[in-house]
Chain A
Amino acid sequence: MKTNYLAAVKTSLLWLIIVVAGLIYLADNLSIVSNLEQFLPKNTRDNTTQILFNHLQKQQQKHLIFAKIQGADINKIVDINKKLKQILLKKPELFDFIANGQQDKNIQDYQNLMQYRYYLTKPDDFSKLSLRQNLTELLDIFSNNDNSKIIDYLLKDPQQSLKKYLKQLTPNADFAKYQGVWIVKNTNKQAGTILIIQPKNTSANGLKTIKQSFNTLSNNNANLVLSGADVIAATVQDNIERTISWLSWILVLVVVAVFWYFYRSKRLMIIAVLPLLISIVISMAVVQAIFGNIHGIVLAFGITSLGVSLDYPLHLFSHLHNKETPADTLKRLWGILRLGGLTSIFSYLAFIGTGFTGLTQLAVFCAVGLAVSLLVVRFLLPKLVSHLWVKKRSIIIVKPLSNKHKSIVSLVIIMLPILILWLTPDIIRTDINDINPATKPQLKLAQELRQKSNYGDDFLLVEGDNAQQVLIKTEAIKPKLQLAIKQNIIANFKLSSDILPSKKLQKLYQSLLPDEQELKQNIQIVSQDLGFKNQVFDDFVQAVILSKKHNLLDEVEMSKIFPKSGLESMLFTQNKRWYSLVSVDILDQQKFAIWLKNTEFEYLSAQKISNNLMANYFSVAYQRILLILLLISLLVLWQMRSNIDRIWLLVPIFSGVVMTLLVQVLLGHNITIFHLLALLLVIGMGFDYGLFFNQSCSNKRDLTNTNYAIFISAITTISVFGALGFSEVVILSGMGQIIAVGVLTCFISAAFISTPQRSGQ
């Protein structure tokens, strides 16, 4: 007795040390993330796709915040919009730019560029006639506008070269305007005003500041809707945290209720949750150590999936009796537990290396968790429990169907759903937006505002040996794109060479600048004619003269003098090659496709590439699930050599899979990659239930105990995953629904069909 006690203490201490070590590691290193990128394909070998993905991640516009103010009188929301912009403009440490449709290019902010203006855009004509027009316009502007800063600028740059350069870089948003501010109208024709905000580094502080500033301006009616990738990520993180929080409470409630009612033992309840708690800590530590972070979805779904770890102690407790020690009971059950557990673990491991970091994380989390649970149940639990603590209630034992009825029912519950699924068109979805954890309205708003603000995700790719070669090639595209605009094929485009012309073009621009004497003479004649004092345009003349001597600009110099230009995200080097991404705003997809065929351009669409990769991945995942099902079937066939009744093991698995898919389709949902992942759990549970009903029913007591354990297991699993089915995070709710329905199907079919007819006799 004392030896047993010491062994229990030693084993408990060992596990305690492991858990404490895991907790200490997590306390120092835990990093929970919620961005979607981890669920995007990573292992693509396609070079252009890699380029696009890598650079979309780095693009400033990825972090744009779209703010919509609505709900109050139009004049009021316009007023709030303008004032909010003014407040945010005073926080340059948080925001790079804030646009709302108002003219906001303050020429004084671009002083660095003044000396290079004649290289950046084609210089105007410096003839007397042209200069006369420029100076007459200056007088006109002066007559109508008392803004001395504008006049000061015009005296230095009467041809407005810098202004023209900056204008071509400003995105032309498609928003309507009211009192100078961008507005959009919803389906009820209620107007909202728009701000597009570029946060500086991290948008967390920016988001907080925007909300706080809005609250100081708003009355009760007006409300602020924020959108954009970072806003969605923050909201999703909130939703996931909320889901984890309430799901944990439901899990606790279910466990307490189950052990209070079915086992009438607090001690068993505490011991039962040990495999779950230990497996969660170790899984988190392993995932954190391997990947450097844990995705919120992995955590929520992983912890819920590990809820099945409760099944192992349930089996042990339910089979305990006074004629054998707990260790002997476990040894008797170990073969089935091990087979079921290992099948689930290998099912998850099949998803490693399929290209999605997030899914690989999830597979590792679940596989490690299940393995740890099995080990805890095998080596710790028997040392902690006693059959004396088990006070089970009597339950109705399900009577298995006759073999004839089993065959008919099996055919119906497997073949009928397959037939319906076969006949239903378009049930598979590989649209990247369908796996975005954001809510549909969030996605819709983000997409609408992004599109209207011309921050699209369609690109042409230009490649070359060096930056200058790429810039020259990009410049050559421009006339074709301008023609495409005239033909209403595209609405707009953005070129890296518009920000930084190639040195070849800069040299050409330099050669167009006039001689010093000629310019001085022309400006003197024209300015005197128009009443300007002498020397007023000295700075202008000097700038032109110096521009003939300056060194030409390259991409390194440009990023120093104009860091906010966005050039780095459009012109970049990767794997020793240089690339330029030309952003195009497509008006007509069909016309564009035809136009593209007649060009040599390589077209990249972030959305299309993601969807294609998703379709490929779906296909791989689908094949792997079929492979898992095939391997399980072969295993069962092998076992059938000694016992023909093993055939009924397959029914819960196949019926669980097809029935869950059928229910999703009948509910009007499409099947995504996450549904496939959830099916792994259904397959594991189905095999587990089938094994117990099929193999451990050599006598009536075993059958009763198995019924008892699996009945309780099904109740807990269905309750927790059923609750997850109501999560606000679409991925989690879909997975919850799949597993709840799947486990219910597995339980019923295992009880009525997997149980051999002669069992208990």
Chain B
Amino acid sequence: MQKIISALLFCGIWSSGYCASTPDLLGLLDDLSANSNTASRVDFVETRSAFFLFDPIISKGVLEFYPPAKMIKHIYYPKKSTLSIENDILSITKKTTKKVDLIEYPLLAIGINAILWVLSGDYAELEEHFEIDFEDKNKHWSIYLTPKNTQILAEITKITIKGADNLISSILLNKSNGDYTLTVLTQNEN
């Protein structure tokens, strides 16, 4: 982990002050993937609302990305746990490790894969699974992903990924029952 070049942060965004213009989505995805070819890590704060809870659950931790398709989420608050995704297997480690095959959980898979495909600049996969809208105003951009699969759409209505320049700043997942999960990413302090 120490070998991870701390200067190259999530997607390499904060690393070099690299600030290429992103006139369109393809250009942005190219830039994101070009900058994510080495390991990177960011802090996150996740706010997860649920129809059965009075208040959303907030969790905090560090998110690591190892190109092309490995991601580890270290949750430090409210309870320590680690989630890692590699080759479509989600491993949840608390006291023990439990493995879940994402192929069998398409709803879980689509949210995770959307982020991985954006980070790796895989436009073809994004286009296959989502209707894509893209906004770019004064270097602040938003990607709106609406699932094409009707069964998934019945559960997840939209995934919104926002950023500025080559920075991803937040990921919002909206559900059909009104619940949402908002993940805000910030520069890792360590």
Contact = CB atoms under 8 A, between A and B. Distances in A.
Contacts of A143: 48, 57, 59, 75, 78-79, 81
A146 B108 contact: yes
A82 B52 contact: no
A425 B52 CA distance: 76
Given A103-B104, A142-B48, A146-B107, A533 B54 contact: yes
Interface string A126-162: 0000000000000110111111110100010000000
A140 to B, nearest CB: 7
Nearest to B50: A142
Contacts of A533: 51-54
Given A139-B57, A531-B54, A148 B89 contact: no
A75 B52 contact: no
Interface string B74-98: 0100110101000111001010000
Interface string A337-358: 0000000000000000000000
B7 interface: no
Contact of B175 (A140, A148, A149, A179): A148
Given A82-B101, A531-B53, A145 B92 contact: yes
A149 B107 contact: yes
B177 interface: yes
Interface string A532-564: 110010000000000000000000000000000
Contacts of A536: 52
A86 B79 contact: no
A180 interface: yes
Interface in B169-190: 173, 175, 177, 179, 181
A102 interface: yes
Question: Taking each of B50, B57, B107, which has the highest tally of chain A beta carbons within 10 Å of its own beta carbon?
Answer: B50
A28 interface: no
A86 B48 contact: no
Contacts of B79: 140, 143
Nearest to B93: A144
Contacts of B54: 531-533
Interface centre among A86, A144, A149, A155 (most CB of B within 10 A): A144
A718 to B, nearest CB: 59
A104 interface: yes
Most buried by A among B75, B108, B175: B108
Contact of B177 (A82, A144, A148, A531): A148
B92 A179 contact: no
Nearest to B111: A146
Contacts of B111: 146
A324 B15 CA distance: 115
A131 B107 CA distance: 28
B103 interface: yes
Contacts of B59: 143
B155 to A, nearest CB: 6
Interface string A74-88: 010000001000100
A242 B88 CA distance: 45
A405 to B, nearest CB: 79
B153 to A, nearest CB: 13
B57 A75 contact: no
A70 B155 CA distance: 37
Interface in B134-175: 155, 173, 175
B100 interface: yes
B87 to A, nearest CB: 6
A149 B107 CA distance: 9
B53 A140 contact: no
A666 B180 CA distance: 78
A532 B53 contact: yes
B181 A146 contact: yes
A180 B101 contact: yes
A179 B81 contact: no
Interface string B28-67: 0000000000000000000010111111010100000000
Contacts of A144: 75, 81, 83, 92
A405 B74 CA distance: 95
B177 to A, nearest CB: 7
A143 B49 CA distance: 10
Nearest to B100: A103
B163 to A, nearest CB: 22
Interface string A90-121: 00000000000011100000000000000000
Interface string A511-533: 00000000000000000000111
Interface string B106-145: 0110010000000000000000000000000000000000
Nearest to B51: A533
A140 B108 contact: no
Contact of A140 (B87, B94, B179): B94
A532 B52 CA distance: 6
Contacts of A146: 48, 107-108, 111, 173, 181
A145 B48 CA distance: 11
A260 to B, nearest CB: 66
A142 B107 CA distance: 14
A689 to B, nearest CB: 69
Contacts of A139: 57
Contact of A531 (B55, B83, B100, B103): B55
B103 A82 contact: yes
B182 to A, nearest CB: 13
B89 to A, nearest CB: 6
A155 B48 CA distance: 17
Nearest to B155: A148
A103 B90 CA distance: 12
B89 A179 contact: yes
Contacts of B105: 147
A102 B102 CA distance: 10
A143 B78 CA distance: 10
Given A144-B81, A144-B92, A532-B53, A102 B104 contact: yes
Contacts of A140: 79, 81, 94
B107 A103 contact: no
A144 B75 CA distance: 9
Nearest to A140: B79
A148 B57 contact: no
A148 B174 CA distance: 12
Contacts of A155: 52
Given A103-B100, A533-B54, A145 B89 contact: no
Contacts of B99: 180
Interface string A417-437: 000000000000000000000
Contacts of B175: 148
B160 to A, nearest CB: 15
A138 to B, nearest CB: 9
> In the complex, which of the residues A102, A103, A143 has the most CB atoms of chain B within 10 Å of its own CB atom?
A143
Contacts of A103: 100-101, 104
Given A143-B57, A143-B78, A155-B52, 14 more contacts: A82-B101, A102-B103, A103-B101, A104-B104, A140-B79, A143-B48, A143-B79, A143-B81, A144-B81, A146-B107, A147-B107, A148-B177, A531-B54, A532-B52
Interface of A: 75, 82, 86, 102-104, 139-140, 142-149, 151, 155, 179-180, 531-533, 536
9 contacts: A102-B104, A103-B101, A139-B57, A144-B75, A146-B107, A148-B177, A180-B89, A180-B99, A533-B53
